[in-house]
Amino acid sequence: MSFQNPVFIPGPTNIPEAIRKAVDMPTIDHRSPLFGEILHPARANVRKILKSASAEIFFFPSTGTGGWETALTNTLSPGDTVLAARNGMFSHRWIDMCQRHGLTVEVVETPWGEGIPAERFEAILSADKGHAIKAVLATHNETATGVLSDIAAVRRAMDAAAHPALLFVDGVSSIGSMDFRMDDWGVDIAVTGSQKGFMLPAGLAILGFSPKAMEAGKAATLPRTFFDIRDMEKSYAANGYPYTPAVGLLNGLKLSTEMLLAEGLDAVFARHHRIAEGVRRAVGAWGLTLCAAAPKLYSDTVSAIRTPEGFNATDIVARAAKDYGVAFGTGLGEVAGKVFRIGHLGSLTDVMALSGIATAEMVMADLGLPIRLGSGVAAAQDYYRHGAPAKQAAA
């Protein structure tokens, strides 16, 4: 693998040089007022990116997986029931975590490549007259399949059923890259991580808690120590942490959120859509299809690309790394060997995306797939030159 080439995995993502330098900082006293000058602006900026006026923002030295655990243990009790769809590897892993914590999970099995079935959720919640279901789990962007689910539709289903369950959303590979509306969608806990849209190394679980979720925490009895938001909240009030924080990552988060807000969230989302659409045009030119079952499900952060029956898609990832020093994502779980993934999120440009598309073409040609060199690149070039609305308007 070459350090000179950008990565095209769906996280960790490429790190802008300015953010890398912000993470690489001298040691400071994390109990001093100086630390508060890093912590509190970062919290305020994340709240803006979540589009929330009232969410409490928490940062744990962890990953998105630790964020899932934070959501569960701070709001639920042993034996509680949660509702979730299993439509990819990451929804599967969150379900597994619930079960390991002694929660009862009502699982809606969903084909990989499909989104969350909001209408099934509505029926299940409407039938739950005793309100045994305490939380609904939703994976906004299923990173394994490149499927974006409609969280607003999930909220509408919950409201139509007049059900009081909490809504937890995994936005690990969406927040900071695609539109996320915590307040408008009635999200009670939003979970993300530092290593994707925020363009940082892995190491921070980032969460937003609604007032309703904060209130639920008062009655929750699942064990929690490291991930206890009560301890974190108390320490934040004194410009501190309940234990040693990842100061460099938090300093990087402060800068990355400033950069996203300075670019403008709508511009950030448009950039991701433009780059993703160029990749999708390339996939079409190759004669291949996406794992996502319909255009309304297409993710703007990762494309999972199906290869022909009988071909091992993992060979593309291995050959790209070995011969060209470029990283793509492998298929996971039920789609292992059936898809390879191109991540197109975070610090990425049209020109960088073209290098990934060109590399994928070379690898597939090397492996004997009927790919005409330059076909996908040309399709993406044509879109990046003429098809992007922002560029059309400027022309």
In 10 A of CB 210, how many CB atoms? Answer: 21
pLDDT band of residue 2 (cuts 50, 70, 90) is confident
What average pLDDT does range 51-80 have in this prediction?
98
Is pLDDT at 388 greater than 50 in this prediction?
Answer: yes
The CA–CA distances, whole Å, from 299 to 65, 290, 291, 381 equal 21, 10, 10, 20
The CA–CA distances, whole Å, from 301 to 125, 280, 304, 333, 342 equal 31, 11, 10, 19, 9
pLDDT band of residue 316 (cuts 50, 70, 90) is very high
The CA–CA distances, whole Å, from 169 to 154, 188, 209 equal 10, 8, 11
C-beta of residue 228 within 8 angstroms of C-beta of residue 25: no
Rounded to whole angstroms, the maximal C-alpha distance in the chain is: 62
What average pLDDT does range 43-58 have in this prediction?
98
What average pLDDT does range 49-63 have in this prediction?
98
pLDDT of residue 1: 65
Question: Mean pLDDT in the chain?
Answer: 96
CATH H superfamily, domain 265-394: Aspartate Aminotransferase, domain 1 (3.90.1150.10)
pLDDT, tens digit, for every residue of 143-155? Answer: 999 999 999 999 9
Is pLDDT at 10 greater than 70 in this prediction?
Answer: yes
Is pLDDT at 28 greater than 70 in this prediction?
Answer: yes
pLDDT, tens digit, for every residue of 222-262? Answer: 999 999 999 999 999 999 999 999 999 999 999 999 999 99
What average pLDDT does range 322-344 have in this prediction?
97
Is pLDDT at 394 greater than 50 in this prediction?
Answer: no
Residue spans of the domains in the chain: they are 17-262, 265-394
pLDDT band of residue 395 (cuts 50, 70, 90) is very low
pLDDT, tens digit, for every residue of 99-146? Answer: 999 999 999 999 999 999 999 999 999 999 999 999 999 999 999 999
pLDDT of residue 335: 97
Q: What is the pTM of this model?
A: 0.96
pLDDT of residue 97: 98
- Its CATH architecture, for the domain 17-262, is 3-Layer(aba) Sandwich (3.40)
* Residue found by looking up tokens 């490549």 in the block: 113
In 10 A of CB 93, how many CB atoms? Answer: 19
pLDDT band of residue 265 (cuts 50, 70, 90) is very high
Same fold: 17-262 with 265-394: no
C-beta of residue 8 within 8 angstroms of C-beta of residue 343: yes
Please name the residues in contact with 316: beta carbons below 8 A apart, sequence gap of 6 or more.
307, 328, 340, 360, 363, 364, 367
pLDDT band of residue 389 (cuts 50, 70, 90) is low
Q: What percent of the chain has pLDDT over 70?
A: 97
Tokens of 305: 């690309």
Q: Phi/psi at 194 (nearest 5 deg)? A: -80, -20
- Residue 387 vs residue 75, higher pLDDT: 75
Task: Please give the Cα distance from 335 to 342 (Å, whole number).
Answer: 14
